[in-house]
Structure formats: structure tokens, C-alpha cells
A = this chain, B = another copy of it.
């Protein structure tokens, strides 16, 4: 129905996460009438990302060199290690400015239905780091969903012999949210994790 190359672009855009068929069509027609230079900047950004972005040989985060910006920074606390699923989780935690340690990116979570077991994740690399680096606390910051919880439980068992402080991020009500709109699991966790108020 569409001219061939336009349909190709719509198909490719529709493969991206969070873009449905309508959204892909809207973006394609926007690009059709957009300035040549705008489209060229997008093409350049895509090309550069695949050409220049590597993954940190230590932590697995995105990097432009063999080490990522965080692993290369001597001011980061070498005793605390935060284990996350994906590079985007590093970005989210960095944004809080709460954590001054280093990261380890697993590359996903254990998910038997998707054929992802511990061997498919960067767990052997994690164990190697615990043996060689001066780590005293491991924070398991995998996602608060079934796969993330399963991965955290698996890692907690694997880490037991190291005698480290192993922690998990708190679950509870989102700040700024309404109690009545919280789902029952979250509300249950918030009760379970309730804390004394210093008054």
C-alpha cells in the first residue's frame, strides 16, 4: 500500500521497543518531510553508537574505551559493588547520586522461559572480581520483578561463601505516589519493610 522504501522504514521503526505500528508510521512520515540534515544527524548518531560504544572489560557497562567512565574513576569507592541487569540501570542509579561505589552489569536476569540461565549472564566475571578486588559489600540491584528477584536470590546463595555484606534495594511505596493506587504486592512489601520513626 505504501511506497516500498517508506514501508521498509516503518517496519524497521516498528521493531524498536515502545514504538507500535501507528507510532512507526507517524515517525516515518515525519522523517519524510523533515530536513535532510535532521535525518542525517540521526543516521550519524546510530552509526557512531555502533562504531564507538564498547563494553567495559571490568564491569560490562557501556564504554568508549576498554574501561567505562566509572571503573576508570579512582575516586569511586572500591569496597561497594552494585550488581545490576543492564547499562541503563547504572544510569538510573547514578542519577540518584546515592551510590559512590562501582558496578557490575549482568547483561540481563535469569529467565528460564527465555533460555537465560546463570551461564548466559556475567556471573563468572562477578565471582572473579570478588576474588581479586577489595569488595566488602555487594548490593543486588536487579529489577523488582520475578526474574530480577530470582537472579538476586541465586546470587545471594552464590555469594554466601565470600562472607560479604550482601544487600538488596528496599521495596515499598514509590515516593510521591498515592497509597490507594499501590498494587497489593508493593503495599505488602511496604508493610513488611516498615521502619521506626525517630520522633
Contact = CB atoms under 8 A, between A and B. Distances in A.
A40 to B, nearest CB: 8
Contact of A5 (B1, B16, B27, B53): B53
A70 to B, nearest CB: 11
A42 B9 CA distance: 7
A189 interface: no
Interface in A33-71: 33, 36, 38-43, 45-50, 52-53, 62-64, 68-69
Contact of A3 (B6, B31, B33, B69): B69
Interface stretch (A88-96, A116-124, A138-146, A155-163): A88-96
Interface stretch (A18-26, A125-133, A174-182): A18-26
Interface residues of A, number: 53
A69 B33 CA distance: 18
Main secondary structure of the interface of A (DSSP, over half): helix
Nearest to A50: B39
Contacts of A94: 1
Nearest to A16: B27
Nearest to A10: B45
A62 B27 contact: no
A47 to B, nearest CB: 6
B27 A18 contact: yes
A28 interface: yes
Contacts of A27: 16-19
A95 B23 CA distance: 17
Nearest to A11: B45
State the 8 A-B residue pairs at the shortest beta-carbon distance, nearest first: A9-B45, A12-B45, A29-B88, A12-B42, A5-B48, A8-B45, A9-B49, A16-B27
